[in-house]
Amino acid sequence: MKHALRAFILTVIVISFVTSAYGQQEMSKPKSVYEQFLSDLGTMITKDFYALSSLRSSYKNLEVKVIRITSKKGSNYFLSLSATEEYSKKSAIIAHDDLTEISKALNTIITKSKKESTKKLEYRERFFVTNDGFKIGYYQKGTEQTFFIDLDDYQSDDNYFFDNFDPLIQAIERAKAKIESLK
């Protein structure tokens, strides 16, 4: 009985150690392009912020900024969309390279939504997700469509809704133009 108890305790300790080491590896690995660019320890990093006009969703304004990060690796550019909530600030930081993909996805989503707007659907979601977890798309119930962005696919309370995507398209185009002017 003592040997079984010792073996059990030893097994629990080994499992605890292995899972905690695995968890630390997962936590230390940068997930987004933004985090990867900032992950150089011992390097001087400069972050410049350029405010653009806000993005109006159905219920809230989102701050729109271009961020330029400069380090020994060079410069990289990001679009930041953020909203201040009562107790926190929700944000998405989108790599410059992803803006072209998002623009293409927006065009596809808009085209498909127009084709489906007269179809009476029980319920449909159509969306595009970047590697960093930023999501754009629409919901359709019956013939009613609601367009949305989800700043971070890993949190549930950071969705913002729109009647259409014209304001988002304009914000992305302004960000691309600002980035080109900074290069």
pLDDT, position 51: 94
Asked whether 160 and 134 are in contact (CB, 8 A), the reply is no
Q: Residue 128: inside a domain, yes or no?
A: yes
Q: Rounded distance, CA 82 to CA 93, Å?
A: 9
pLDDT, position 13: 63
Whole-angstrom CA distances from 62 to 157, 167, 182 are: 14, 11, 23
pLDDT, position 156: 63
Q: Residue 6: inside a domain, yes or no?
A: no
pLDDT in tens, 104-136: 999 999 999 999 888 898 999 999 998 888 899
Q: Residue 23: inside a domain, yes or no?
A: no
Query: What is the pTM for the complete model shown?
Result: 0.72
Q: Residue 8: inside a domain, yes or no?
A: no
pLDDT, position 25: 47
pLDDT, position 89: 79
Give the side-chain half-sphere CA count within 13 A for 84.
2
Can you give the CATH number for the domain in which 123 is found? 3.30.2450
Q: Rounded distance, CA 172 to CA 177, Å?
A: 9
Helices (H) and strands (E) in the chain, counts: 4, 8
Q: Residue 11: inside a domain, yes or no?
A: no
Asked whether 43 and 72 are in contact (CB, 8 A), the reply is yes
Q: Residue 134: inside a domain, yes or no?
A: yes
Q: Is 14 helix (H, G, I), strand (E, B) or coil?
A: helix
**Per DSSP, what are the bridge partners of residue 161?**
148
Q: Rounded distance, CA 182 to CA 170, Å?
A: 18
- How many CB atoms are located within 10 Å of the residue 135 CB? 19
Q: Residue 159: inside a domain, yes or no?
A: yes
Number of domains in the chain: 1
How do 61-71 and 46-56 pair as beta strands?
Answer: antiparallel
Whole-angstrom CA distances from 40 to 44, 76, 96, 142 are: 9, 14, 20, 50
Q: Residue 144: inside a domain, yes or no?
A: yes
Q: Tens digit of pLDDT per residue, the chain (183 long)?
A: 665 556 556 555 656 655 554 544 444 545 666 666 566 666 788 899 999 999 888 888 889 999 999 988 789 999 999 888 777 778 888 999 889 999 999 999 999 999 988 889 899 999 999 888 889 999 999 999 999 998 876 666 778 898 888 999 999 999 999 999 998
> Which structural domain range is residue 159 located in?
33-182
